[in-house]
Amino acid sequence: MAARLGLTTVSSLGPRKALLPLPVRLRSLLSVPAPRYPSHRHFYTSLSSPISPLQLVKNLSQSQVAMSASGSDPSPIPTYEKELAAAKKAASLAARLCQSVQAEIFQSDVQSKADKSPVTVADYGSQAIVSFVLDMELSSGPFSMVAEEDSEDLRKDSSKEILSRITDLVNDTLSTDPSFCNVILSEEGILSAIDKGTSEGGSSGRHWVLDPIDGTKGFLRGDQYAIALALLDEGKVVLGVLACPNLPLASIQHTTQNVGESGCLFSAIVGNGAWMQSLDEGSSPTKIQVTSTADPVDASFFESFEAAHSLHDLTSNIAKKLGVKAPPVRIDSQAKYGALARGDGAIYLRFPHKGYREKIWDHAAGYIVVTEAGGVVTDAAGNDLDFSKGRYLDLDTGIMATNKKLMPSLLVAVQESIKEQQQSASLL
């Protein structure tokens, strides 16, 4: 144990030996902007030894140093590769924690939020891990995260036991990764890592967007759920990672039963396609594509397992109008976006009950995985989704996703079905 006591929490990085602001000359050489954030975020793995300028260059992310092909334009072209590696690592570790909880969940692991929705030790633990890992792996640049959970309920006296369990879970999970095996987070460290997710997001700068467990109800049933992590840059989704521990690696086109090995990690960077790999360590990603079908008769569609999350009557009418023959495939979480992106089905329909406001963390990662796989994701009117408005998506009609060939007829079927639904509601 003593060997693991060397580190500290996110909030208290301790003696500032680790503070190593980027040398001014090097920064101007590489066109790296001066940091606009507290210098304690310059945290390097080797705390005691100074870092040479050469090492510093090596440590810089490609997104900071990539130049235009001609070499004459000094403005950096973001490639987001370092961010993607950090996001994959964070989501995979969070998935490991969630799997260990789902394997034997206790009644005491589940609490009810103010809106009566369930939250588990795994939701909090997953958020703490992702926040901590991103913070450690991306030691440069301001850090902002828009995430589902906050620590308010955990700070109550009645939550002492649950906080202690979350702290143990997070530390046990971190100890499985060689880069964090010397880390022990305190309870306060866990709370402050969770609270890094309270950003409001918006249209300027970079913001991570996290749903630590998307589909908590599916998680509690032992079904599908996802750790969904995306990056917004100037209001656009530029990177996304979806860890789906229970999604079979093989297509679920004809069955929702678990067949074969499970555990998928989807990822995408804007302009670089969509990829899938096993959640197993050392796996390699393969490129994925949405289905190319142009005939709705061959199409199958995904929707929420929970009828409270999407109007199953409306979606059934849309499918009928389109001529879709197959029954809906109902699964929880953004695993639906992942399955769509690799062509397991052709359409995803989501039409919440009136008054529900969609949150950006429920769609950002899935959105970029599907669009980079060649698909289209829009609201019910066919407009692109706008992630730049803060914590909520600015829409109240619904969301649909499919390939480019099917979108025009899907849009017509959706508009007609919504009109019919409104007409029959006005007759009541």
The residues annotated with a catalytic role in the active site are: 123, 216
For 229, the enclosing helix (H) or strand (E) is strand 226-233
Per-residue CA distances from 304 to 94, 184, 376, 411 (Å): 23, 38, 19, 19
Nearer to Mg ion, 362 or 372 (CB): 362
Q: Is 332 in the site for Mg ion (CB under 5 A)?
A: no
**Binder to ligand AMP among 201, 212, 215, 245 (CB under 6 A)?**
215
**Identity of the residue, 287 or 353, whose beta carbon is nearer to ligand AMP in the bound complex:** 353
The Cα–Cα gap between 373 and 112 comes to 36
Q: Write the CA distances from 186 to 2, 166, 180, integer angstroms.
A: 15, 11, 14
Any contact of residue 352 with ligand AMP (CB under 6 A)?
yes
Q: CA 277, CA 66: separation in Å to the nearest integer?
A: 26
Q: Is 214 annotated among the ligand-binding residues?
A: yes
- Tracing tokens 């899935």 back to the chain, one arrives at 366
Least distance in angstroms from the C-beta of 337 to ligand AMP: 9
Q: Is 123 in the site for ligand AMP (CB under 6 A)?
A: no
Q: Which is nearer to ligand AMP, 133 or 331 (CB)?
A: 331
Asked if residue 135 belongs to a known ligand binding site, the reply is no
Residue 109 annotated as binding? no
State which of residues 66, 77, 181, 308 lies at the interface with ligand AMP (CB under 6 A).
308
Q: How far is the CB of 360 from ligand AMP (least distance, A)?
A: 11
Assess 304 for contact with ligand AMP (CB under 6 A).
Answer: yes
Rg, Å, the chain Cα set: 22
Cα atoms found within 13 Å of the Cα of residue 241, Cβ hemisphere only? 31
Return the number of the residue (195 or 362) whose C-beta is nearest ligand AMP: 362
Q: Is 109 in the site for Mg ion (CB under 5 A)?
A: no
Nearest distance in Å: CB 285, Mg ion: 24
**Selected range binding ligand AMP among 11-19, 67-75, 209-217, 340-348, rule: CB under 6 A:** 209-217
**226 DSSP β-pair partners:** 214
Under rule CB under 5 A, residue 149 binds Mg ion: no
Query: Per rule CB under 6 A, is residue 291 in the interface with ligand AMP?
Result: no
Calculate the CA 69 to chain-centre distance: 31
62 vs 258, beta carbon nearer ligand AMP: 258
394 annotated as a binding-site residue: no
- Residue 123 touches Mg ion, criterion: CB under 5 A: no
Q: Is 362 assigned a ligand-binding role in the annotation?
A: yes
d(Cα 196, Cα 389) in Å, to the nearest integer?
Answer: 19
Q: Are 377 and 400 spatial neighbours (Cβ–Cβ below 8 Å)?
A: yes
Q: In this chain, which of 83, 135, 195, 214 binds Mg ion, going by CB under 5 A?
A: 214
Q: How many residues bind ligand AMP (CB under 6 A)?
A: 15
- Residue closest to ligand AMP, measured at CB: 304
CA-CA distance, 83 to 352, in Å (whole number)?
32
- List alpha helices for 43-182, DSSP H: 53-59, 62-65, 81-103, 121-137, 160-174
- Near ligand AMP in 25-44, by CB under 6 A: none
- Decide: 282 and 270 in contact? Cβ < 8 Å: no
Rule CB under 6 A: say whether 127 interacts with ligand AMP: no
Rounded distance, CA 377 to CA 402, Å? 7
Helix, strand, coil share (%) of the chain residues, nearest 5: 40, 20, 45
Residue range at the interface with Mg ion (CB under 5 A); choices 24-32, 212-220, 374-382, 405-413: 212-220
Q: Which of 362, 367, 377, 387 binds Mg ion (CB under 5 A)?
A: 362
Query: Residues marked as binding for Mg(2+)?
Result: 148, 211, 213-214, 362
Query: Residues marked as binding?
Result: 148, 211, 213-214, 362
